[in-house]
Amino acid sequence: MLAFAPTLSLMFLLASQVSATFLVPFNGQNISATQMIPSPFASLVNSTCQGQCNSVNSNFTQCNDDSGCICAQGLATSFLQCEQCMYENVIQANVQMPDAKTGSAAMITAYQTACGSSGQPVLKSLSTMHVPTSGWDGPFGLGLNLVGTIFSVGAAFFLGMSGLLLLSNM
């Protein structure tokens, strides 16, 4: 019985050295914390976002897959601010997202879910992005010029009057 004690101790020692990797399920794949912020976003965001996002990414790297560090409220707030900043820049530039992780509410939700499943829940208030209010008229502006408006109203008038004529002659 005593012969198994050193072997058993060695097995427990080796098992305690196994570290769990923090993975975030996003778009059908598991990504690490350092991959949550897209790297080729320099041309899309201003210098404020660049600084915020680089700081968050370096903090994720320093956390070294420790869920307690990655999911800390301060880092979660910084990550949300980075995503919010990228989101607003995509809207201001009026371009499609170059990467699904750029300013993505789905990325924030996946991050919150991964933190919750690792026993480090993130507050709901830290997982909500806001629509920018200054100078934003929606996802796209749809309008007709004068000629298009005249044509559309004329066609609608013609179809409406034709329908009334048909119904009144039945």
**CA dist., res. 114 & res. 87, Å (int):** 21
- pLDDT tens for residues 148-165? 999 999 999 999 999 999
pLDDT of residue 7: 56
- pLDDT tens for residues 34-56? 888 877 555 666 666 888 888 88
Q: Is the predicted pLDDT of residue 73 greater than 70, yes or no?
A: yes
129 near 83, Cβ under 8 Å?
yes
**Residue 112 tokens, joined:** 């919150």
- pLDDT tens for residues 106-151? 888 888 888 888 888 777 766 666 766 666 655 555 678 889 999 9
Sign of torsion over alpha carbons 52, 58, 62, 63: positive
List the chain domain ranges: 20-137
Residue type, 127: S
Coil, strand or helix at 44 = coil
pLDDT of residue 119: 86
**Residue 133 tokens, joined:** 């209010």
136 near 89, Cβ under 8 Å?
no
Coil, strand or helix at 130 = coil
Cα dihedral 9, 14, 17, 20 in deg (nearest 10):
-120
